[in-house]
Amino acid sequence: MSARVLMVQGTSSDVGKSLMVAALCRIYARRGLRVAPFKSQNMALNSFVTPEGHEIGRAQAVQAAAAGISPSVLMNPILLKPQSDTGCQVVLNGKAEASMSAVDYHAHKPALRATIGDALGKLRREYDLVIIEGAGSPVEMNLKEHDVANMFVAELCDAPVLLVADIDRGGVFASLVGTMELLEGSERARVRGFLINKFRGDPALLGDGLEILLSKTGVPVLGVVPYLRDLGVAEEDSVALAHRKTHFDEANRDTRKIAVVHFPHISNYDDVLPLEREAAVEVAFVRDVESIRCADLVVLPGSKSTVADLQWLREQGMAEALLQLAQAGRPIIGICGGCQMLGTRIEDPENVESSHPSVKGLGLLPFFTVFESAKITAQVRATAVRAGVLHDSTEIQGYEIHMGQLHWSGTPSPAFEISTRNGEEVHVPDGGVGNEGRIVGTMIHGIFGNAEVRKTLLSALGVRSGAGDSFFDSEIDRLADTVEGYVDVDHLDVIIGLESERLA
């Protein structure tokens, strides 16, 4: 039997669709249903690799974990990774297909609808309930003709729709009424409930607004979900960085300061989320030299445009500041694109990422990078060979997503040795170590998710690790408990068609 479906759309980006889907996945999984998330098209620089080596949006991996299942490429068949203001890399069915301008991609959209239908159909045959996430707003009038992410998907599988709005940014009633007004009549009929998200304060402040909203739209508000502070769950994309700390608290002298360089094309910034959970450290996403200079540790995260972000680093004066910190013995860690910047040079002979055939790196680690057309996407296990502040002689887990390959001029002196890729045995050197272990580069994402790595790193900074590995599950449960407590789930059961079932 084909699974039941529910679609969560939003009045705009960053209203909380991804987290709402994660919460619903956990709620219904706890009640005994086999639940899977789905998002037809995801535009994000935070991505993840499935056990089969397919690249999908990070949010769908989080939602799958919330449902207690392994992530699959069926959950996100189209991933767009922005490379500039007007173009992106198109990842189709988990593999990089091409780089396209926005105009070219919109022309390509109609051909992708069969791909979307195929993936969703397969998911529905495997699960009891599929919870679908929309993208942005369903009433972007300039894009509706070639919609592949919102009402097209709802109509494809005859899904009822929940419309989520963010009250924290203001104008919640106007955004809900305006969205309904711009929908076509058949589309409005699909919207079965509103969810008002990120509410602060006393619900009595809403007054008779909810009744007025019902009278104007005919759609009930199924819940007003409170603002959850410091939720330790990876969010959708770089929009969420607007809520992250950008400067250190000068009055806070009891924690170690970790500066994450906020590149213009930052990707997979959720790598540092496990460090943000640690009470003994203060993490800030910085773009100024002074924050770099006062940090106890600097992290160079991933980048979708490594050469452009390296040039930006130099223009901001941060490159020189990093060299000074290295001379002073301050620890610096580079991940993926950040790792490549730490090497001697970056070569791109085929113009895979940029128009520069070769640029000089920071020269802090003894390797160079060559960009190749083939993209490596793999879940990996690796052993720390001489990883300095990131621990030695222990097995770690993570994942790779990169087109730049590391090369050594002489005998490799890696930080790690990758032992398996997608379950297959390999022997691949990774990264490097310099300055007596205080500078470390690695191509492996998710490195800080390993408890021993965090423990060693924080010990090197003079503090202790306190966050356990069960943190994610407890935070997902906190999210699900909150949503379940403030949303009329019985009404939601009726909308989905579950009201007659007795769930464990």
* Residues noted as catalytic: 336, 445
Amino acid at 170: G
β-bridge mates for residue 78, sequence order: 41, 92
Query: What angle do the packed helices 17-30 and 58-67 form, to 10 degrees?
Result: 20
Amino acid at 136: G
List alpha helices for 343-470, DSSP H.
451-460
Query: What angle do the packed helices 17-30 and 471-486 form, to 10 degrees?
Result: 90
Report which of 24, 150, 152, 78 is spatially closest to residue 498, judged by C-alpha positions: 24
Residue 285, C-beta contacts closer than 8 angstroms, at least 6 positions apart: 241, 244, 245, 246, 260, 261, 262, 266, 269
Q: What is the DSSP-derived secondary structure letter of residue 487? A: B
| Tokens matching residue 127 | 């699960």
Is 335 within 8 Å of 415 (Cβ atoms)? no
Distances, alpha carbon 474 to alpha carbons 225, 232, 481, in Å: 18, 9, 10
Number of Cα atoms under 13 Å in the Cβ half of residue 263: 31
Amino acid at 230: D
- How far apart are the C-alpha atoms of 33 and 127, rounded to whole Å? 8
Is 322 within 8 Å of 292 (Cβ atoms)? yes
- How far apart are the C-alpha atoms of 200 and 114, rounded to whole Å? 42
Amino acid at 465: S
Is 266 within 8 Å of 46 (Cβ atoms)? no
What is the torsion angle, in degrees rounded to the nearest 10, for the CA atoms of residue 479, residue 482, residue 488 and residue 492?
Answer: 10
Number of Cα atoms under 13 Å in the Cβ half of residue 4: 19
